[in-house]
């Protein structure tokens, strides 16, 4: 059968020479050819430029880990090799992340305009590898041309509610890379734990990174486990993780929450509160472990009223913290939270009321806006940009802020209409802490977000015209970990919903097909099995 089988767009679960072609997220164009390419221990990886080393290393590590095969790199082309080629010459889409992959019987060639785009080609090549254990590795012959739909493709992890080891953070970064996503949003501070070493304020980690226990079961819980729970990342570890991510073309956006969700910092430095001498408020129905006097790191979930006081002490503290954060993270964006900040303490604080009068502010929402704008000026003065959750719209948006729309799509719509950049993270579609099934057998925060709903998500709200739509940079899935205390639970919650989201973010809108995605799901699951990760495989209903 010499005839070329050309398949574009919708069909991508196809058989060539007995091998399935199963690429997710679905590429812009895929042509399946006759024949296959064999990878053996003699196969060399040719690099046209040294800048492609990251791509070669990722492929080598994958082949070593999952197939026990060690390949060598070469700076000389030779027959039968896998060639990574940096070029602007090939006919490729006008997108700096565009790559093309040609797998023929004689060789595999991946062309990219940038080292990053070649890395995306490597992810496609990985998906052509068999998921069954075989003696030989055969790659089906294909032509792929591809580029992403959105420039921002993110995944967040809350390391405040539960701490995760550096080893798991690296694994998580690999999951992001394998899905052709490009941003890891690292939520590092919370009421229940401060997770980043700050040299100037050692008590943040000495005191703020530990809680004396954790509620058992769903909030408010049926008791307390009475286990001291601690963890933070040293600056050395953070540098290592930032490099690990950069080698995979993943930017890490650190989040330092303010003015709310700050109990752990206040436990370390009570002067950050408007009422430093008041004890931390503990709900009557929460079982508490250890001392309940003074300022405490929280042991249950929710939103707490003791928040940063907008004092000079607090601003100096936050600027010093941000200085160290910006030194560690090269990210253009710094996330400052801004969500869920109750105004109760500000309302009864004479300091806050005087500040409101002195600055001519309308109310406490305007005081929050003043807080965020002051921090934004500081971040901008250091050449960075601020991201905040959509509450930063209340009381007036900081002039250059990017908004993460989480309480729905309206925050994103409003911000885009005000010509601010937006990252869509609406709870109803991309909060992967919600249950995957109506009869979920594991504890979750609640809600119901089945796979097809994630797949159906369209990040550009229909309320926006084409000019306004340009402000939507992309979308992100959020993983809040109140009910995820260990890595396999996180994996169970993200897979396969993350894979569905990766297609929403990468593939052309017109190429999306739930039917076709479902057909690919068994092959996707085989890949999870190869990686030995946990995933949800039940029915949604």
The answer to whether the CB of 80 falls within 8 A of the CB of 42 is yes
Per CB under 6 A, the list member of 20, 240, 339, 394 interacting with ligand ACM is 339
Q: Is 111 in the site for ligand ACM (CB under 6 A)?
A: no
Least distance to ligand ACM, CB of residue 344, Å: 18
111 or 431: CB nearest ligand ACM: 431
For residues 390-449, which are near ligand ACM according to CB under 6 A?
A: 406
121 or 426: CB nearest ligand ACM: 426
For residues 355-394, which are near ligand ACM according to CB under 6 A?
A: 389
User: DSSP assignment, residue 39?
Assistant: E
Rounded to an integer, what distance in angstroms lies between the CA atom of residue 79 and that of residue 282?
A: 69
Q: How many residues bind ligand ACM (CB under 6 A)?
A: 4
161 or 179: CB nearest ligand ACM: 161
Least distance to ligand ACM, CB of residue 271, Å: 26
301 or 406: CB nearest ligand ACM: 406
96 or 339: CB nearest ligand ACM: 339
Cβ neighbours of residue 441 closer than 8 Å, sequence gap 6 or more: none
71 or 415: CB nearest ligand ACM: 415
β partners of residue 32: 5, 142
Helix, strand, coil fractions of the chain, as percent rounded to 5: 35, 20, 45
Q: Which of 404, 235, 246 minimizes the C-alpha distance to 321?
A: 235
- The alpha-carbon radius of gyration of the chain (Å, integer) is 25
Q: Output the six-digit token pair for 350.
A: 């004479």
Given the DSSP bridges, would you call strands 44-47 and 72-74 parallel, antiparallel or unpaired?
A: parallel
Q: For residue 5, give Cα distances in angstroms to 12, 30, 128, 139, 404.
A: 12, 10, 17, 16, 43
DSSP H or E run through 500: helix 497-506
411 or 487: CB nearest ligand ACM: 411
240 or 340: CB nearest ligand ACM: 340
Least distance to ligand ACM, CB of residue 478, Å: 6
Least distance to ligand ACM, CB of residue 416, Å: 18
Least distance to ligand ACM, CB of residue 337, Å: 8
* φ, ψ dihedrals at 123, nearest 5°: -65, -35
Q: Which of 94, 157, 151, 82 minimizes the C-alpha distance to 121?
A: 82
Least distance to ligand ACM, CB of residue 209, Å: 21
Least distance to ligand ACM, CB of residue 195, Å: 17
x/- letters, 465..494, toward ligand ACM (CB under 6 A): ------------------------------
Least distance to ligand ACM, CB of residue 266, Å: 18
Q: Output the six-digit token pair for 305.
A: 């009223």
Per CB under 6 A, the list member of 340, 385, 463, 525 interacting with ligand ACM is 340
170 or 218: CB nearest ligand ACM: 218
Q: Which of 419, 415, 431 minimizes the C-alpha distance to 481?
A: 431
The answer to whether the CB of 118 falls within 8 A of the CB of 53 is no
Least distance to ligand ACM, CB of residue 438, Å: 22
Degrees (nearest 5) of the Cα angle 279, 159, 164?
125
Residues in contact with ligand ACM by CB under 6 A are 339-340, 389, 406
């Amino acid at each position: 059968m010499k005839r070329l089988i050309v398949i574009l767009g919708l069909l991508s679960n196809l058989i060539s020479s007995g091998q399935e072609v199963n690429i997710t997220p679905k590429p812009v164009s895929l042509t399946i050819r006759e024949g296959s390419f064999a990878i053996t221990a003699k196969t060399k990886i040719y690099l046209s430029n040294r800048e492609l080393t990251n791509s070669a290393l990722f492929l080598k590590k994958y082949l070593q880990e999952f197939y026990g095969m060690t390949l060598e790199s070469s700076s000389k082309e030779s027959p039968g090799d896998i060639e990574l080629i940096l070029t602007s010459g090939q006919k490729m889409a006008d997108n700096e992340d565009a790559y093309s992959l040609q797998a023929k019987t004689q060789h595999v060639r991946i062309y990219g305009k940038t080292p990053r785009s070649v890395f995306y080609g490597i992810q496609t090549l990985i998906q052509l590898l068999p998921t069954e254990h075989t003696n030989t590795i055969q790659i089906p012959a294909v032509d792929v041309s591809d580029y992403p739909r959105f420039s921002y493709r993110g995944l967040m992890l809350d390391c405040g509610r539960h701490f995760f080891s550096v080893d798991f953070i690296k694994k998580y970064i690999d999951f992001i890379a394998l899905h052709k996503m490009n941003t890891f949003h690292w939520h590092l501070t919370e009421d229940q734990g401060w997770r980043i070493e700050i040299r100037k304020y050692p008590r943040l980690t000495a005191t703020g990174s530990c809680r004396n226990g954790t509620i058992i079961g769903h909030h408010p819980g049926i008791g307390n486990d009475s286990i001291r729970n601690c963890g933070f990342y040293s600056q050395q570890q953070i540098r290592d993780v930032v490099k690990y991510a950069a080698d995979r073309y993943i930017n890490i956006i650190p989040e330092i929450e303010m003015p709310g969700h700050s109990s752990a910092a206040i436990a370390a430095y009570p002067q950050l509160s408007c009422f430093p001498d008041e004890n931390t408020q503990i709900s009557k129905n929460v079982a508490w472990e250890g001392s309940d006097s003074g300022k405490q790191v929280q042991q249950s979930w929710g939103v707490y009223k003791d928040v940063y006081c907008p004092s000079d002490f607090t601003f100096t503290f936050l600027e010093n913290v941000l200085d160290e954060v910006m030194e560690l993270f090269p990210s253009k964006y710094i996330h400052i939270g801004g969500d869920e900040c109750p105004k109760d303490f500000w309302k009864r604080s004479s300091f806050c009321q005087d500040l409101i009068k002195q600055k001519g502010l309308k109310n406490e929402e305007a005081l929050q806006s003043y807080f965020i704008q002051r921090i934004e000026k500081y971040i901008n003065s250091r050449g960075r940009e601020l991201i905040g959750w959509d509450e930063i719209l209340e009381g007036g948006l900081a002039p250059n802020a990017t908004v993460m729309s989480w309480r729905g799509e309206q925050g994103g719509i409003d911000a885009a209409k005000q010509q601010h950049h937006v990252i869509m993270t609406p709870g109803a579609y991309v909060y992967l802490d919600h249950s995957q099934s109506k009869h979920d057998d594991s504890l979750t925060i609640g809600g119901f977000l089945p796979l097809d709903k994630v797949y159906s998500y369209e990040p550009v709200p229909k309320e926006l015209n084409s000019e306004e739509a340009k402000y939507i940079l992309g979308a992100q899935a959020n993983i809040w970990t109140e009910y995820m205390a260990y890595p396999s639970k996180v994996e169970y919650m993200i897979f396969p919903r993350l894979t569905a989201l990766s297609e929403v973010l990468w593939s052309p809108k017109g190429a999306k097909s739930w039917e076709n995605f479902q057909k690919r799901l068994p092959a996707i699951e085989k890949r999870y099995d190869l990686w030995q990760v946990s995933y949800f495989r039940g029915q949604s209903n």
